[in-house]
Structure 1
Amino acid sequence: MKRLFSTFIMAISFTVLFSVSAFAAEGEGELTSMGKQKEVVNVAHRGASGHAPENTMAAFQKGFEMKADYIEIDVQMSKDGELVILHDTTLDRTTDGTGWVGNYTLEELKQLDAGSWFSEEFAGEPIPTFEEVIDEFRGKVGILIELKSPELYPGIEGKVAEALKERNMDIPDNNKIIIQSFNHESMKLSKELLPEIPHGVLLGANWANVTDEQLAEFAVYADYFNPTMTILSPELVDRVHAAGMDIWAYTVRTQEQADRLFELGVDGIITDFPEYVYPHPVKNN
Structure 2
Amino acid sequence: MHQSISIYAHRGLSGRYPENTMDAFQAALEAGAQGIELDVQLSKDGQMVIIHDEKINRTTDGTGYVKDFSYAELRQFDAGSWFNPVFANQYIPTLEEVFKWATKDGNQLIINVELKNDVIRYEGLEEKVLSLLYRYRLQDRVILSSFNPESVKRLRELDANMKIGYLILGIHKNAVKIAENIGANAIHCEEAFALSQYGKEAISAGFPLRIYTVNEASKFKVLFEAGAEVIMTDYPDLPLEK
Fold conserved (TM > 0.5)? yes
Matches within 5 A, 1:273-284: 273-276=235-238, 278=240, 280=242
Partner of residue 144, structure 1 = 112
Tell me by how many angstroms 1:41 deviates: 1.1
Contact 1:219 1:244 in 2 (8 A): no
**What residue identity is the alignment partner of 2:130?**
A
Partner of residue 98, structure 1 = 63
Contact 1:94 1:115 in 2 (8 A): yes
Partner of residue 114, structure 1 = 79
User: Matched residues in 1 for 2:19 and 2:239: separation?
Assistant: 19
Tell me by how many angstroms 1:237 deviates: 3.0
**What residue identity is the alignment partner of 1:153?**
Y
User: Matched residues in 1 for 2:122 and 2:220: separation?
Assistant: 34
The answer to whether structure 1 residue 219 and structure 2 residue 180 are counterparts is yes
Contact 2:99 2:136 in 1 (8 A): no
Superposition misfits of 4+ residues, deviation over 6 angstroms: none
Pick one of 36, 47, 66 that aligns with 1:82.
47
Per-residue deviation, residues 189-229 of structure 1 (Å, max 9, x unmatched): 01222222110001002xx2514xx5144135112111111
Contact 2:220 2:240 in 1 (8 A): no
Per-residue deviation, residues 259-285 of structure 1 (Å, max 9, x unmatched): 3323422111010011237474xxxxx
Contact 1:79 1:105 in 2 (8 A): yes
Partner of residue 245, structure 1 = 207
Partner of residue 160, structure 1 = 129
Query: How has the CA–CA distance of structure 1 residues 109 and 215 changed in structure 2, closer, same or farther, with 3 Å as cutoff?
Result: same
Tell me by how many angstroms 1:38 deviates: 4.0
Identify the structure with the greater helix proportion: 1
Contact 2:80 2:91 in 1 (8 A): yes
Greater Rg over alpha carbons, structure: 1
Contact 1:237 1:266 in 2 (8 A): no
**What residue identity is the alignment partner of 1:256?**
S
SS in 1 for 2:53: coil
User: Matched residues in 2 for 1:276 and 1:191: separation?
Assistant: 35
Q: Which runs of 5+ in 1 are unaligned?
A: 1-35, 281-285
Partner of residue 10, structure 1 = none
User: Matched residues in 2 for 1:279 and 1:41: separation?
Assistant: 14
Pick one of 173, 194, 200 that aligns with 1:210.
173
Aligned residues between the structures = 237
Q: Which runs of 5+ in 2 are unaligned?
A: none
Contact 2:217 2:241 in 1 (8 A): no
**What residue identity is the alignment partner of 1:154?**
E
Matches within 5 A, 1:6-21: none
Query: How has the CA–CA distance of structure 1 residues 277 and 182 changed in structure 2, closer, same or farther, with 3 Å as cutoff?
Result: farther
Contact 1:40 1:277 in 2 (8 A): no
User: Matched residues in 1 for 2:239 and 2:166: separation?
Assistant: 22
Partner of residue 228, structure 1 = 190
State the Cα RMSD in Å: 1.8
Tell me by how many angstroms 1:153 deviates: 1.1
Between stretches 188-197 and 40-49, larger displacement belongs to 188-197
Pick one of 201, 216, 221 that aligns with 1:259.
221
**What residue identity is the alignment partner of 2:173?**
V
**What residue identity is the alignment partner of 1:227?**
C
User: Matched residues in 1 for 2:143 and 2:65: separation?
Assistant: 26
Q: What is the TM-score normalised by the length of structure 1?
A: 0.78
Tell me by how many angstroms 1:230 deviates: 2.6
SS in 2 for 1:59: helix
SS in 1 for 2:32: coil
